[in-house]
Amino acid sequence: MNRPAPNLAILGLQWGDEGKGKLVDLLSPRYRQVVRFQGGNNAGHTVVVDGQSIALHQVPSGALHPECFLVVGSGVVLNLEVFQQELDRLKQRGFEVTGRLLMSEKAHLILPYHIALDRWREGGASKIGTTGRGIGPAYEMKAARMGVRLADLKHPDTLRDKLRQGYDEVSIRLGQDADLPTLDAMTENLLQQAQPILPCIGDAQDHLYKAWKRGETILFEGAQATLLDLDHGTYPFVTSSNCSLGGLFTGTGLSPKALDKVLGVGKAYTTRVGAGPFPSELFDSVGDRLREVGREFGTTTGRPRRCGWFDAPITAHACRLNGVDGIGLMKLDVLDGFPEVGIVLGYRDGEGRVTTRIPTCISDWDQLKVEVKYFKGWTEPTRGIKELSKLPKEARVYVEALAESIETPIAYLSTGPDRVEGFVYPGTFLEGMLD
């Protein structure tokens, strides 16, 4: 374990749920530090081990490897109750994290009034289709300088005062709809929830800096994905953190010099949950088949995911934005048996011009019509294939066209949900890292 490996970021290239968890899990044995740097329990990483799937929301996926030290960076927002439940579930399954978990004292808490505000807004006319976990309000109160941080849990005497401002604002805004516990009850509850994790709260920036200087390997695990990035995604239909590369640095406090490689993760088709632009969405039986075969239902909320063909312009945008060195292409096997498979190579705008430009305004997205190139499907299954030479010819043509369309090499190809289903592409930076 822990043989030399590049310090690596694993980032989503579409609208989330690309299968980042599988890659983090596969690569974790090479890494000493596994770090989450943004997002909260809106994330859901499903890792399949020996046919059993484990869903992780806030705990880094390295939890399944006893030699990994787990770090939750300052850019994360945390729901303590959910975090504790996740630790308990891991423990029941034989994964102990005591002594190998550090949570940044600068990370912000998700509080009951954040959840109330999120759900209240989603009940109104302008819905984002959020996960309803209070993520947006937690980040917005952080920016408004009225957030509550993990460090505050170490000061029980002043905790109630820290909670008050957000509590009052939400109570005034929502009135009777707020249905919140009293401030005293909320404070008491939080202090109780904090008790078991107090020893795990500390200076994550210093920890990571020292680990880097000691030459320890670091794996950065992104949550959500580039098209959900607050600045560079399909705003306002995005999450409230920076899920692209910039968020890694603000969310850990590490210098960009600490990072060596970026592995982008995308599916061989596209999905999204929640509202917002999705030009390649398929509303017909093809979309239904992708959903059924790909089991495209949310890990966090169980919502059916919208499905469509691989969208090259959005994925190429994500590759450029994150400086992706290679792509982990997931779920190729879901396309097995389709008579034909498509790649969206560009969009035709309202005036009939073909473009690969990503619009900024929702009204511009709405006008786009996709330009799809179709490829012959394959009859031999790709499921479980572990070697490039074994791929059906048509599948190989498809995958190569896809890599060309995003001007990024494929580093890993996944052919099924289990750890063993897939392979590293020869000659890429991942070569030798999964042996």
Residue 89, judged by CB atoms within 10 A of its CB (0-12, 13-18, 19+), counts as middle
Q: Which of 8, 43, 190, 413 touches ligand IMP by CB under 6 A?
A: 43
163 sits near ligand IMP (criterion: CB under 6 A) = no
Output the six-digit token pair for 327.
């792509």
Report the C-alpha gap between 59 and 35 in whole angstroms. Answer: 9
Report the C-alpha gap between 236 and 57 in whole angstroms. Answer: 23
Quick one: 200 or 290, whose CB is closer to ligand IMP? Answer: 290
Residue that has been written with the tokens 């043509």 in this structure: 397
Q: Nearest Cα to 35, choosing from 81, 83, 99, 102? A: 102
Q: Which of 28, 58, 234, 239 touches ligand IMP by CB under 6 A?
A: 239
Q: Which of 128, 183, 258, 403 touches ligand IMP by CB under 6 A?
A: 128
41 sits near ligand IMP (criterion: CB under 6 A) = no
Least distance to ligand IMP from the beta carbon of 114, Å? 10
Q: By CB under 6 A, which span of 126-134, 171-179, 350-358, 395-403 interacts with ligand IMP?
A: 126-134
Q: By CB under 6 A, which span of 37-45, 249-257, 324-332, 394-402 interacts with ligand IMP?
A: 37-45
Q: By CB under 6 A, which span of 131-139, 166-174, 261-269, 323-331 interacts with ligand IMP?
A: 131-139
CA dihedral sign of residues 303, 306, 310, 312: negative
42 sits near ligand IMP (criterion: CB under 6 A) = yes
273 sits near ligand IMP (criterion: CB under 6 A) = yes
- CA 394 to chain CA centroid, nearest Å: 30
45 is catalytic: yes
Which of 17, 25, 118, 229 is flagged as catalytic? 17
Report the C-alpha gap between 85 and 43 in whole angstroms. Answer: 15
Question: Who's near 94: CB < 8 A, 6+ residues apart?
Answer: none
Residue that has been written with the tokens 């599916």 in this structure: 267
Q: By CB under 6 A, which span of 144-152, 156-164, 183-191, 221-229 interacts with ligand IMP?
A: 221-229
234 sits near ligand IMP (criterion: CB under 6 A) = no
228 sits near ligand IMP (criterion: CB under 6 A) = yes
Q: By CB under 6 A, which span of 38-46, 167-175, 407-415, 422-430 interacts with ligand IMP?
A: 38-46
Phi/psi region, residue 16 (left: phi>0; alpha: psi -120 to 50; beta: rest), is: left
**DSSP element (H, E) containing 139:** helix 135-143
Report the C-alpha gap between 38 and 76 in whole angstroms. Answer: 4
Q: Which of 6, 16, 112, 294 touches ligand IMP by CB under 6 A?
A: 16
Least distance to ligand IMP from the beta carbon of 290, Å? 16
Q: What is the CA radius of gyration of the chain?
A: 22
131 sits near ligand IMP (criterion: CB under 6 A) = yes
Q: By CB under 6 A, which span of 149-157, 236-244, 260-268, 332-340 interacts with ligand IMP?
A: 236-244
Least distance to ligand IMP from the beta carbon of 129, Å? 5
Question: Who's near 163: CB < 8 A, 6+ residues apart?
Answer: 111, 148, 183, 186, 187, 190
Residue 281, judged by CB atoms within 10 A of its CB (0-12, 13-18, 19+), counts as middle
Q: Which of 224, 234, 280, 415 touches ligand IMP by CB under 6 A?
A: 224
**DSSP element (H, E) containing 401:** helix 393-405
Residue 117, judged by CB atoms within 10 A of its CB (0-12, 13-18, 19+), counts as buried
Q: Which of 44, 247, 294, 346 touches ligand IMP by CB under 6 A?
A: 44
136 sits near ligand IMP (criterion: CB under 6 A) = yes
55 sits near ligand IMP (criterion: CB under 6 A) = no
117 sits near ligand IMP (criterion: CB under 6 A) = no
Q: Are 123 and 107 in contact (CB under 8 A)?
A: no
Output the six-digit token pair for 298.
């949310």
Quick one: 74 or 130, whose CB is closer to ligand IMP? Answer: 130
Output the six-digit token pair for 369.
């019509």
Which of 45, 57, 108, 114 is flagged as catalytic? 45
Query: Pattern of binders to ligand IMP over 72-111, x per CB under 6 A?
Result: ----------------------------------------
Least distance to ligand IMP from the beta carbon of 306, Å? 10
Angle at 335 between CA 329 and CA 336, to 5 degrees: 120
| Contact footprint for ligand IMP (CB under 6 A) | 15-17, 42-44, 128-131, 133, 135-136, 223-224, 228, 237, 239-240, 273-274
Q: Which residues are catalytic?
A: 17, 45
